[in-house]
Amino acid sequence: MDNSTLRRLPSVEEAAGHPAIRALTGRYSAPFIKKIIREEIEAMRSALRTEPAPTAAREALTEELAGRVQSRLDRFFTSPLSPVLNATGVILHTGLGRAPFSAAARARVMEIMAGYCSLELDLTNGKRGERNDAVSGLLCALCGAEAAVVANNNAAAVLLALNTLCLNKEAIISRGQLIEIGGSFRLPDVMEKSGVIMREIGTTNKTRLKDYEKAITPQTGAIVVAHTSNYRVLGFTEEPGLAEIAALAHRHHLPLIHDLGGGVLVDLRRFHLPYEPLVQDSLAAGADVVTFSGDKVLGGPQSGLIVGKESFIRQIHANPLMRALRCDKLIFAALEATLRLYFEEAGLPASHPALAMLAEPAAEVRKRAEKVTDALDPELKSRFKVTIRPSAAQAGSGALPLEKIASHAVVLSPPDGRAEFWAARLRSGSPPVLGYIQEEKIWLDLRTIRAEETAALCSALSRALSGEGQSG
């Protein structure tokens, strides 16, 4: 090709002197801007070698380069972490951060993050304290445990418990409990990394107490029971109760570790939902160590909670891995505030967003859906044939995997049939709105839209569906 076009490309310094780019130097560092300019010049040079543009003037190339640099910087400094309106009907949506914080938790985090706090200082004597003290007493009182410690998620909690109590020994577990959680993350992988030897027993659908007993050898370090929170094996099944397994473990002087996955502290049957194992019930049945998540049904921040016998918890706390897997002040602040909600039983679930969404009657959800549709522009409602239809919400994050929670959705029928296109418009709006596509329509489940979010949802729908602020 003729190299004359390439020679018309501006230099880095010329590009940096363009008014649009010069205006950016007050926001971003000059060396970083020049790095982006160099990369975009090289990209333009490569494109011109493939598709020559001999008529392109230097000024036009400079303008194009300035636009590319601006767009590149805008994309770079636009955070992928954005508040969204969750209209999926999945209450504990892992992709959307699981449980929303309560007002108390939000306020507590803001208070603690504003300055210094007594994270590891005992204010009574002025000596070094222990960060777990912020929540250990609360956890023990709620669960009936002797002691408690907190890691940064439940996988870490399981790893810590196994690595502490069963390192280089066998951990017995039923084949039917070798669960896979989100992101292709498998319990056997956690067990392997913890340094234990996994000893599978039974079959996928049937494991008997005698299977546990036959597997116990001098090499056994612990018995592990994992709650299959994200699936159910139904039909021709059998498994012993936790109390039976605990009694067997204790006869052989072995600890029983119960991985609950999600942490449930109140009986969900009071909200007309199926029973989910309570942390309190696991401990009462004889489990020595119980691990569970803080950010699922419990309703707090991402964390792994470990409760149980004081002798075992003390060992876990002393594990050097604890330092690598501990939580920071903001997690403790949010967790503390969330746990305190459970002591005010009359205030649940009103003060607890996740429980509120789980417990809300479907009729109330419909009222909120009606409020949204009433607020929409009549022309928009006509164009998208907006209706309200019964829907099925879910707990999400492995909780209540078989349970469909009666709900209602605002349903949009795109006039051009392009449901994917309009769903993408909703996702790219401000704030982004996430629903789901079913029957070539966009469904917005109102169970996961709180009352204080309805106005924002209406505005977002109006902007996205009218095309306001959107390109082509």
Q: Return the closest-CA partner of residue 166 out of 109, 114, 230, 223.
A: 223
CATH assignment of 85-93+357-466, given 1.20.1250.20, 3.90.1150.180, 3.30.360.10, 3.30.390.10?
3.90.1150.180
Give the pLDDT confidence score for residue 178 in this predicted structure.
Answer: 87
Mean pLDDT of 335-359: 94
Q: How far is CA 142 from CA 139, 167, 471, in A?
A: 5, 30, 53
pLDDT per position as a tens digit, 36-76: 999 999 998 888 777 766 566 778 888 889 999 999 988 88
Q: For 76-135, give the secondary structure using H, E and C.
A: HCCCCCCCCEECCCECCCHHHCCCCCCHHHHHHHHHHHCCCCCCCEECCCCEECCCCHHH
Mean pLDDT of 157-166: 96
Neighbours of 82 (CB within 10 A): 9
Q: How far apart are CA 465 and CA 403, in angstroms?
A: 33
Largest alpha-carbon pair distance within the chain? Answer: 88
Lowest mean pLDDT: which of 48-52, 181-185, 239-243, 429-433? 181-185
Domain residue spans of the chain: 4-76, 85-93+357-466, 103-347
Query: Exposed, middle or buried by CB within 10 Å (0-12, 13-18, 19+), for 469?
Result: exposed
Model pTM? Answer: 0.88
Q: Give yes or no for residue 469 having a pLDDT over 70.
A: no
Say if residues 360 and 348 touch (Cβ distance below 8 Å). Answer: no
| DSSP code of residue 396 | B
pLDDT per position as a tens digit, 95-132: 999 999 999 999 999 999 999 999 999 999 999 999 99
Quickly name the fold that domain 103-347 has: Aspartate Aminotransferase; domain 2 (3.40.640)
Q: Give yes or no for residue 324 having a pLDDT over 90.
A: yes
Q: How far apart are CA 283 and CA 260, in angstroms?
A: 11
Say if residues 120 and 329 touch (Cβ distance below 8 Å). Answer: no
Give the pLDDT confidence score for residue 2 in this predicted structure.
Answer: 53
